[in-house]
Amino acid sequence: MSFDVLFSQFMSGIARAALLFLVASGLSLTFGVLRVLNFAHGSLYMLGAFLSYSIWKFLLMPVLGFYLAAIIAALIMGAVGILIEYVLLRRLYARGWPEQLLATYAIVLIIMDLVKWAWGGEFLSIPRPKPFTGAVLLFGFPFPSYNFFVILLGLGLLVFLWWLIYKTRFGDIIRAAAHDREMVSALGIPIPWLFTWIFVLGAFIAGLSGAVTAPFGSVALGMDIEIIIECFAVVVIGGMGSLPGTLLGSFIVGEVYAFGIMLKPELAIAFIFMVMAVVLIIRPWGIFGRPER
């Protein structure tokens, strides 16, 4: 197999990895701090995609329309995040995690029907926005420029999260809270406030990544479940709650899938879960994960 063939397959894996990282980073962040595994993260992603489609249609702006729609959709999802955290999750922190898990599962079901009711089951799609409509030649092989946009956005999010977590005071608090909740509370930092903001940030990221996928493929029911399952694979491989882990997990899942399709298309999805099983057998808490306490 020649180099350009492998390279183009590698690049389509990277594009997928970037998309997965966009979604999974929010999931991982929420889990790392709140210790709540948010099943509804995929639903927020889906809702973000549908919202951006409707806003884009409403705006009717040829160039800026999509970018504006994406940001507005993400902001709305942030607001939805406040609602979910404030109304539901906050009342459940004192209870067991099974109840928290089930509450987010209930949100999955509710959003699923909400979307079905509001948009129906059709495939919707937004054309690729300017200037990312065409393709770029890489080693003589065409490569859609929108994929580059997604990759750049993924890198941007990575840098932002890294800066937020490791370079700011807010990040110090986040890391401290992930490590020892009581200690942070004892220092006089209001934990509920912290939790709300983290959840909102997660929801915002979910909404944004949903909007970004709209021109990538298509917007349809069922994308919530598909993405959340792959995101679970990502965070489980990388280690739940770890930023470098999410990055590595996204890369592994994206590439395993891309090359799986080339070698044995029938088993491409199964390959992902096989890799995950192997990782878990060697390191039950994922590559960068910390053992539970």
Q: In this chain, which stretch among 66-74, 182-190, 193-201, 284-292 interacts with other proteins, using CB under 8 A?
A: 284-292
- The CA R_g of the chain, rounded to the nearest whole Å, is 19
Total of residues contacting other proteins (CB under 8 A): 84
Q: Does 109 bind other proteins (CB under 8 A)?
A: yes
Stretch that binds other proteins, among 67-75, 161-169, 176-184, 267-275 (CB under 8 A): 267-275
Among 57, 122, 189, 192, the residue binding other proteins under the rule CB under 8 A is 122
Q: Which of residues 158-177 bind other proteins (CB under 8 A)?
A: none
Q: Write the CB contacts of 113 (distance below 8 Å, at least 6 apart in sequence).
A: none
> What is the nearest approach in angstroms of other proteins to the Cβ of residue 252?
14
- Told to check if 244 binds other proteins by CB under 8 A, we report no
- Could you say whether residue 287 binds other proteins (CB under 8 A)? no
Residue 206 is a binding residue for other proteins (CB under 8 A) = no
Phi and psi torsions of 136, nearest 5°: -115, 145
Q: Is 236 in the site for other proteins (CB under 8 A)?
A: yes
The answer to whether 276 contacts other proteins (rule: CB under 8 A) is yes
Would you count residue 151 as binding other proteins (CB under 8 A)? no
Stretch near other proteins under the rule CB under 8 A, chosen from 52-60, 162-170, 190-198, 271-279 = 271-279
The one among 262, 283, 287, 290 contacting other proteins by CB under 8 A: 262
Rounded Cα gap, residues 230 and 24, in angstroms:
9
| Structure-block tokens of residue 202 | 């997660």
Across the strands, what pairs with 124? 219
Least Cα distance to 20 among 177, 228, 271, 291 occurs for 228
Q: Which two tokens stand for residue 23?
A: 């979604």
Q: Where are the alpha helices (DSSP H) in the chain?
A: 3-34, 41-59, 65-83, 97-119, 145-167, 169-179, 181-186, 191-213, 223-238, 243-263, 268-282
Q: Which of 3, 123, 182, 187 binds other proteins (CB under 8 A)?
A: 123
Residues 95, 29 contacting (CB under 8 angstroms): no
Positions 62 through 81 that interact with other proteins (CB under 8 A): none
